[in-house]
Amino acid sequence: MSYGHQGVKQAEEESRIQKVTSIRRDNYKVTVSLSKERQMSQSPLYHKYDIQKYDLHPNFSFAHLATMIPSNTPEFIDSGQHYVERIVRALYYFKQCSLIGPSGTGKTHIVYLVAELCGLPVWEVNCGLQTSSYDLIGRFIGLGKENWIDGMVTRWLRKGGIMYLDEANMMKQDVATRLNPVLDTRGHLVMNEKDNEVVKRHKYGYLIISMNPYSAEFAGTKPLNAAMRRRMAVWINFDYTSVGDKISEVEVKMLRDRSSVDEEMALKIVQVGAELRKQYKTGDIPYGPSLGDLINWATLVYDGNTANVAAEETIVALTSDNAEVQQDVRRVIQTVFPKSP
Ligand SMILES: Nc1ncnc2c1ncn2[C@@H]1O[C@H](COP(=O)(O)OP(=O)(O)OP(=O)(O)O)[C@@H](O)[C@H]1O
Ligand SMILES: [Mg+2]
């Protein structure tokens, strides 16, 4: 994902923290500077979504972590499900929520957008079998007790913002279990590995986990452990905007806007995408294209290639390496883009 963030420069960050702390001693100044700061940094999409009543960090500035707040995230489209609003509301009331849905339905995208809209830094871990408690909590490096490095979760607990655990059900159970006290009313982490230091969850520390549904086709996924499942108050299901014969006009428009192809071409590309997604959902092909994949295809068409040629390098190759599956994909494409004899 490259919605522009990550990579905190430690020294710069620490000096900013000090500045903000000193401003915060004078309440009046804080109010003035925060409202100005909000106006200046507000995302241009802020008023497109009905989220104004949910302030996720009242009277608190994350300006010192500005490099970690996403910017220029494209708009998120849906067909009336109001995903952005539901996520922001879940964070406001419960501080955490879970996003579940097939690959490419925009889960990661929406986390970045929500962070940008709400002015929150993102701490992200792409979970997998190799994710260890070192990555999440921290570790000593070299000799001597002073050489402790906080893991991602510990840094988030201390500094606040959104902790995003992508593919959370790929993580080993014993690692995931370490998070349980953080996620319930205790709201803290006990670092057994560091003289049992207790790290309290930041007042504005929010957590979002996302995952593909547990099934054979998503290799590596496991049912989420019951303890973590129970601690997630809100579950939001994601799906493609256009599937089968159901074509979303908004998806067509977004494809046009983000690739510059004309209306007719955009509609046809979405039609192919929708049919492939339908076949993916019925288990006939191993992958259904995301809007991002369709945009890549359309971009090559806009560059002057025929739809069939552009599809070879994008949609066909992406769906599978298997020659038979690729042939199935070509057949779907040719129903909409017949090849000249
Ligand atoms: N509803 C949507 N609105 C705008 N863009 C979308 C939408 N759905 C998907 N996309 C685009 O499709 C691409 C894939 O989305 P993303 O990576 O967020 O999917 P995901 O659900 O996180 O997939 P995975 O489960 O594989 O991580 C991105 O380029 C994203 O911008
Ligand atoms: Mg993702």
Q: Is 225 in the pocket of ligand 1 (CB under 6 A)?
A: no
Q: Tell the residue number behind the tokens 């042939």, with chain if given.
A: 327
pLDDT tens-digit series, residues 268-283: 999 999 999 999 988 8
pLDDT of residue 213: 77
Rounded to the nearest angstrom, the gap between the alpha carbon of residue 194 and the centroid of all alpha carbons in its chain is 31
Report DSSP state, residue 57. S
| Whole-number Å distance between alpha carbons of 285 and 276 | 8
Give the pairing of strands 138-140 and 148-150. Answer: antiparallel
Q: Could you tell me where the beta strands, DSSP code E, fall in the chain?
A: 96-100, 122-126, 138-140, 148-150, 161-166, 188-191, 197-200, 205-211, 235-237
CA of 313 to the centre of ligand 1 (A): 19
Is residue 161's pLDDT more than 80? yes
Reported as type and span, the H/E element at residue 340 is none
Q: Identify the residue whose tokens are 């390496």.
A: 321
| Average pLDDT in the chain | 85
Structural tokens at position 84? 């952005």
The pLDDT-based confidence of 170 (bands split at 50, 70, 90) is confident
How many Å lie between the centroid of ligand 1 and the Cα of residue 194?
A: 38
Q: Could you tell me the pTM of the whole model?
A: 0.82
Q: Which ligand is in closest contact with the Cα of 112?
A: 1
Rounded CA separation 213/211 (Å): 6
pLDDT at 51 over 60: yes
Q: Which ligand is nearest to the CA of 211?
A: 1
Q: Tens of pLDDT along 287-317?
A: 999 999 999 999 999 999 999 999 999 999 9
Mutate to test the pocket of ligand 1, among 76, 109, 212 (most ligand atoms within 8 A of CB): 109
Task: Count how many Cα atoms sit within 13 Å of the Cα of residue 141 in the half-sphere of its side chain.
Answer: 7
- The tokens 């804080």 sit on which residue? 30
Contacts (Cβ under 8 Å, ≥6 apart) of 79: 241, 248, 250
C-alpha span between 116 and 99 (Å, rounded): 18
Instruction: Please give the average per-residue pLDDT across 188-208, as a whole number.
Output: 93
Q: Is 221 in the pocket of ligand 1 (CB under 6 A)?
A: no
**End-to-end CA, the chain:** 40
Judge whether residue 226 has pLDDT over 90: no
Contact status, residue 261 vs residue 269, Cβ threshold 8 Å: yes
Do 213 and 222 form a contact (C-beta atoms < 8 A)? no
Q: Residue 54 C-alpha to ligand 1 middle, in angstroms?
A: 24
Instruction: Determine if ligand 1 sits within 6 Å of the CB of residue 119.
Output: no
User: 48, 250, 291: which to mutate for ligand 1, most atoms within 8 A of CB?
Assistant: 291
Alpha helices in 25-124 (DSSP H): 27-41, 83-94, 107-118
Element holding 247 (H helix, E strand): none
> What is the torsional sign of CA 313, 113, 136, 172?
negative
| Closest Cα to atom 14 of ligand 1 | 104
Query: Which residues, listed in sequence order, are joined to residue 96 by a DSSP beta bridge?
Result: 207
Q: Which of ligand 1's atoms lies nearest the C-alpha of 238?
A: 21
Secondary structure class of 100 (helix, strand, coil): strand
Q: Say which ligand is closest to the CA of 294.
A: 1
Q: What is the mean pLDDT of residues 187-207?
A: 93
